[in-house]
Chain A
Amino acid sequence: MLSLAESLAAIIVVALTGYVLLGGADFGGGIWDLLASGPRKTRQRDLIAHAIGPVWEANHVWLILAIVLLFTCFPRAFARMAIALHIPLTLMLFGIVLRGSAFVFRSYGGGGGRVFAIASLVTPVLLGMCVGAVASGAIGAAAGVQGEGFYALYVAPWLTPFVFAVGLFALTCFAFLAAVYLTVEAPDAELQEDFRQRAILSGVWVLMMAALGLALAPHGNLVEPRMVALTGAAALAGFWALWRRRYRLARVAAAAQVTLILWGWGVAQFPYMLPPDLPIELAAAPRATLRLALIAVIAGAVVLFPSLYYLFKVFKAQSSAPPTTPPHPPR
């Protein structure tokens, strides 16, 4: 049975999973906007904008929820990460600001499509790098480093080949998720076929980046064999479903695959929050805070999940509806 602190750590991983599966796919959409090609280039971009438009802001809040729960329940871990990862986190924030603003500016006739697409490409890499730096053990260890200069304290923890590999892995995962989701949302067979090809291609990239990450891993405690087996099974199911054009099944498999990757990371570094030396229990806030945070999460979930269900029911129920762009102004 999980302790109170461990339960909240698990809830933070759930929130992060929500961000990756939903917000991550919105970034993935931006990547496919950048890489739009072929005779249906414009229609690909319209489909992406149509898919992201109503939901990206709600999807983005998962990240805020994760970060707020992290600083409420694990303030020590948050402070350490904020110091050692200052540079990649700040760059990631620039990516988030540019992606969101450029998307909405473009939707309302202000241009900025290029900025939207490029920020969608860069931001996931930085998010992945921050996760990779934690997994590598560099953030936990950085607290022990004293007075070795700017590079050792603020750059070295995240400037490693492994951390970059995790960043690129996150990028390919987001692109893969987006491509798979878009096969379901595409209004006709041609667009479906475009995104099916992209899904299979990016699925292969996901596997290659996973292998690269494992090859560069600084220590052996990054994966847990059973989770890897499950992840592999989900990946195979995803490829099979894409091959047989069973798109709804592929969507479930892709989401399961990425979820298992995140949870595999969580399980592998359990019971540490910042390996190698900060366990969840030691990073945790006082019990009074944890108990209230758990109550707040449960109460919040009662409001949140029906609302989210409604949002997705309204906008994602009929996949064959023609894309509608946001109401354009009378020019």
Chain B
Amino acid sequence: MSDLLAARSQMAVSLAFHIIFAVIGIAMPVLMVIAERRWQQTRDPVYLDLAKRWARGTAILFAVGAVSGTVLSFELGLLWPRFMELAGPLIGMPFSLEGFAFFTEAIFLGVYLYGWEKVSPRAHLLAGVLVAVSGAASGIFVVIANAWMNTPTGFALVDGALVNVDPIAAMQTPAAFPQALHMTLAAYAATGLGVAGIHALLLLKNRTGAFHRAALTIGLIVGAPAAVLQPISGDVAARYVARRQPAKLAAMEAHYETRADAPLKVGPGIEIPYALSLLAFHDPHAVVQGLDSVPRDEWPNVPLVHLSFNVMVALGIYMAIVGLWAGWLAVRKRDLASRRPFLWAVAIAAPCGFVAIEAGWMVTELGRQPWVIYGVLKTADAVTPMPGLVVPFTAITLLYCGLGAIVAWLLYHQIIRSPQT
């Protein structure tokens, strides 16, 4: 394994691991705040039990997210010192703001987790709201930094150095809005349907549990609207990619030949005429650049990006359908928890959001290759000169596998199991 591949693999493992915890850390506080609010309104102990169990889950996941996030902030330099040397002054701004948002999140999570008897009910709920808001803010700031790598702005490139640095312009990078919207919705959709799906499965085994019924409802309140909106934000994001990163779009769609009236490939040998032009530019006759417009040595890994993209889209559409189904049942005031086909559909959706998130990040990261800063710096030129990177890559992979197993075991035993009395 070359050092470059080892560094890329280590970054991939670190991000793939961290993103799960980050996403749950963003969305879980919303669920626990809703549960606590319901408890304050109804005094139904089921909601208090839910809020406390979810708080415990959030505590475990947030801690692992915090330490794995620390790993990433160091790895940016440990693996990609040349990248940070160039990009630090430009993307440091969103990272600094993220630092403060994360601080607020950690402080009020401490108040929330340990303050049930120490602060007033109103202050406790407010602490939960602050955790949810600052969690979403820190996620958005980090995504803005990544968006800059895709559509770098706010500088002039002179002899390989970035001059006339303008960090505000860098934060206003065109990819910032579509990426931040897509990622934030993904966090709520994946976590909401994830929680709903687990409890749907448990309801299929035991229909009477008021606990699982309440959990299913709150999970759907958060997850279903986000899942329904996600295809729209995906369309916004794809149109940005079409204009700003044509090579990435071409790889996503395995679109080799530049042409007008471009069809969409949905499977082996299946094409929808005009659909790609229509999706990418909202015009059935628009010209869509193919990979033939990009030098061969600047192609991303087309099969992998194309596959990841299709996986993400398919899962996203499935989740949106489940979200619509939930909305339809809710509008008609039907009991969600007693319809077995619906419960099965939600249960199947539980892992979908997380798989879609991993696939989506593979699209955006692999699709940007061979660039780390699109059009400015190649990944191969950013890597640390230190040899033997396969050692830290292997070590961190083993560490994260172990941690993942322990977290899964703890969550099962602490949160998911039915209350036993």
Q: Which residues of B contact A94 (CB under 8 A)?
A: 395-396, 399
Task: Mark B86-98 against chain A: 1 for CB-CB distance below 8 A, else 0.
Answer: 1111101101111
We find that the number of chain A residues with CB closer than 8 angstroms to chain B is 70
Is the pair B106, A75 in contact by a Cβ cutoff of 8 Å?
no
**Cβ-based interface call for A4 (8 A):** no
Residue B66 CB within 8 A of the other chain: yes
Task: Pick from A73, A81, A97, A308: contact of B68, CB below 8 A.
Answer: A97
Residues of the A chain whose Cβ atoms lie less than 8 Å from the Cβ of B392: 90
Taking the closest CB of chain B, its distance from the CB of A314, in whole angstroms, is: 5
The closest CB in chain B to the CB of A53 belongs to: B114
Chain B, interface size category, equals 35 or more
* Contacts A78-B88, A315-B114, A315-B118 given; does A68 touch B95 at CB 8 Å: yes
Q: With an 8 A cutoff between CB atoms, is B113 at the interface?
A: yes
Q: How far, in angstroms, from A97 to B53 measured CA to CA in the complex?
A: 24
Q: How far is the CB of B49 from the nearest CB of chain A, in Å?
A: 8
Instruction: Give the CA-CA distance A58 to B97 in the complex, in Å.
Output: 15
The segment out of A24-32, A39-47, A102-110, A236-244 that lies at the interface is: A102-110
Contact (Cβ within 8 A) B66 A285: no
* A72 x B92 contact (CB < 8 A): yes
The dominant DSSP class at the B interface is helix
B419 surroundings in chain A (CB, below 8 A) = 330
Contact of A327 among B52, B78, B88, B168 (CB under 8 A): B52
Q: Is B168 a contact partner of A75 (Cβ separation < 8 A)?
A: no
| Docked complex Cα distance between A101 and B59 (Å) | 10
A297: nearest chain-B partner, CB-CB:
B96
Which residues of A have CB within 8 Å of B119? 314
Q: Is the CB of B70 within 8 A of A72?
A: no
Whether A104 and B167, one on each chain, are in contact in the complex, defined by CB atoms closer than 8 angstroms, is: no
Whether A100 sits at the interface, judged by CB under 8 Å, is yes
A216 to B95, CA, bound (A): 38
Chain A residues, CB < 8 A from B87: 75
Q: Is the CB of A108 within 8 A of B60?
A: yes
Does B103 contact A61, Cβ atoms closer than 8 Å? yes
CB contacts (< 8 Å) of B410 on chain A: these are 105, 108-110
Given the interface contacts A82-B84, A304-B103, does A311 sit within 8 Å of B111 by beta carbon?
A: yes
Q: Report Cα–Cα, A101/B117, bound state, in Å.
A: 25
| A69 engages B96 (CB within 8 Å) | yes
Could you show 11 A-B contacts with beta carbons less than 8 Å apart? A54-B111, A68-B98, A68-B99, A81-B77, A93-B75, A150-B387, A289-B167, A303-B100, A307-B104, A311-B107, A327-B55
Given contacts A61-B106, A285-B92, A289-B90, 10 further A-B contacts (CB under 8 A): A67-B73, A72-B96, A73-B89, A78-B84, A82-B84, A90-B74, A150-B387, A296-B93, A311-B108, A324-B117
